[in-house]
Structure 1
Amino acid sequence: MEAFQHQLLTLLGGLICFYTLVKCIRFMKYVFPHIWSALPQTFFRSLGEWAVVTGAGDGLGKAYSFELAKRGLNVVMISRTLEKLQRAASEVEQTTGQKVKVIQADFTKNSIYENIEKNLQGLDIGVLVNNVGMLHNPLPCRFLNGPDIDEGKMDIIFNVFVLQMTKIILKQMESRQKGLILNLSSALGTFPCPLYTMYSASKAFISTFSKALQAEYKAKGIIIQVVAPYGVSTPMTMYQKPGLITKKAEEFVSESLDYVTFGDEVFGCLAHEML
């Protein structure tokens, strides 16, 4: 009996060591992305001539617009505030030399989708970045002390916008058998997060939706990935001071785009993957 227990524990220890080794090896792809799975310089352009970025007036949306333009794509920037959007678009166009198209859209209105679809007609769209979102209570608070439900349901409205934008653009990606959809979520959506209940729940929806959609369309050559960062210094986070964990938007986006072939969910940068 004693010998059997010894053999069983030895086997169990070996399996744990093997599992840990596999996890460590898989983690190395985040440490050395350019070695593990180097994307060719033409990767993004090979998907299509245009990228569509929502919430593009500032923060992560603006950073994604810049970075995708630097990687050879023309960019359609969509946001609510026209003046901010035009200013950001001008910066992208002048800095990168790529074509930039702007679409003003109030995400709270159901009437916007016909106009968006009309403005996107004829464009060879290879990348969609669903970035629109809002954090109603930047400071943690209990559910009953948070915003009114009418204000809090904005998170649900933003999720509907993600669904609509995905449906508009996924149709042409399916017909061409290629494309990349990045849905911005949050690490707070990867586990139940008390004191950020509404925000956490809405981001969990984005994560589940993205993973299920990838299972449906992976065989058609379309990459659908949820990006779930921890801290990024943006207007939504009141420009938290960048550091080891809190990343600048530009740094985060540049790194996250190197991870687009690393599975259906990533945290977007090495520091956040380690958490």
Structure 2
Amino acid sequence: METLLVLFGILVMFIYFLKLMKCLRYFLLTKWYGVPNSFFVSMGEWAVVTGSTDGIGKAYAHELAKRGLNIVLISRSYEKLQKVADEIEQATGRNVKIIQANFSNTDIYQHIEENLRGLEVGILINNVGILQEPNPCRFLEMNDMDKTINDMIAVNVVSVVKMTQLVLPMMKDRQKGLILNISSGVANIPCPLYSLYSSTKIFIERFSRGCQAEYGSKNIIIQCLMPFGVVTKLSKCKPGMNTETAEDFARKSLDCALLGDRCAGCLVHDIQAIVIRKIPLWFLFNEAFLNKCIDFAKRSRGSSK
């Protein structure tokens, strides 16, 4: 028994040592050294960003252009696409190509493939995503339920798989590439009141890590990012100590590209992930707790109007 306890103690110390090393790597990569711009440019001439007219996607497009890549913007609003393209071209001098596509539709990928033909795509940011409304809520209380289910699966799941299918072959041929798939912190544990949304996001995590195991030996990085609070129109988060602006998150997460097949994208969110995974599920699944969460969300929405 004494030997077992000693071994258990050593195992616990080793686990926390690895967590400490990961934190130190965050500091080294995001605070002191960062990943050099030459790394991103070496992946290929073009970076493709989905959902790139607002929030995190727009921030990635700007940041990657600053780091020397030409940008392909893909989103549904032509006017917003043109506006963001003009901003990037004026600010960085990089070339920008726009592709208008609504990811709620599943017949768009031939059109996207045709527009990507001939481009040396070295980086793909699978960012596009949607969240249920109202949120949070129980599964059967989602607005326009049939449409919400179809749209969320098409946007959050199908887009990641199909866009990866389009760009991965050219990366495999060139033996290099970077794919960042944007999941969510809510995928760290089963998440009541966001059941469908969190399920689509854990799919991204499983798909990303599986593909990384399959293609990592080809010098291709496929990483799942699982952020918590980022200030965007979609999240409705407010600036604070545990939230990041879209611009800061894009910059920090790119510097985490060498941190493995899954991370939160910034140190404060990775600490949140460690904490939330320690919360007993019986507490999160408690009916009284869920009701309080819904009431708090309703009051917050009311006060913000």
What's the TM-score bracket when you normalise by the shorter of the two chains?
Answer: over 0.9
TM-score by length of 1: 0.93
- Hey, what does 2:64 align to over in structure 1? 68
The aligned counterpart of 1:135 is 131
Match of 1:242 among 239, 242, 252: 239
Q: Deviations over 1:188-243 (max 9, x none)?
A: 122110001110011111111111111110011110001110010111013x2211
- Identity percentage over the alignment? 50
Paired with 1:255 and 1:119, the residues of 2 have a C-alpha distance of: 30
Residues 201 and 19 of structure 1, relative CA distance in 2, 3 Å threshold: closer
Residues 1-275 of structure 1 mapped to structure 2, 5 A cutoff: 5-6=1-2, 8-33=4-29, 38-137=34-133, 139-147=135-143, 148-158=145-155, 159-238=157-236, 240-275=237-272
State how far apart, in whole Å, the 1-side matches of 2:53 and 2:260 are: 28
Counterpart residue type for residue 261 of structure 1 = L
Q: What is the CA distance between 1:7 and its match in structure 2? A: 5.2
Contact residue 29 and residue 37 of structure 1 kept, 8 A? no
CA shift at 1:108, angstroms? 2.4
Question: Which shifted more, 147-156 or 81-90?
Answer: 147-156
Q: Which amino acid aligns with 2:36?
A: P
- In the aligned structure 2, how far is the partner of 1:21 from the partner of 1:161? 37
Shift in Å at residue 21 of structure 1? 2.4
CA offset digits 1:18-58 (Å, max 9, x no partner) = 43223212321112215897523300000001000000011
Normalised by the length of structure 2, the TM-score is 0.84
- Residue 277 of structure 2 aligns with which residue? none
Q: Is the 8 A contact 1:51 1:73 kept in 2?
A: yes
Structure 2: runs of 5 or more not aligned: 273-305
Structure-2 separation of matches of 1:117 and 1:7: 60
Cα gap change, 1:72/1:25 in structure 2, threshold over 3 Å: closer, same or farther?
same
Distance (Å, rounded) in 2 between the aligned partners of 1:34 and 1:135: 29
The answer on whether the counterparts of 1:138 and 1:237 sit within 8 Å (CA) in structure 2 is: no
Shift in alpha-carbon separation, 1:175–1:248, aligned structure 2, 3 A: same
1:84 Cα deviation from its structure 2 partner:
1.0
The gaps in structure 1 that reach 5 residues or longer are none
Comparing 47-56 with 100-109, greater Cα deviation is found at: 100-109
3-state SS in 1 of match to 2:228: coil
Shift of 1:107: 1.4
SS in 2 for 1:236: coil
Work out the CA distance in 2 between the residues paired with 1:35 and 1:251: 12
SS of 2:118's partner is: coil
For this pair of structures, how many residues does the alignment match?
A: 270
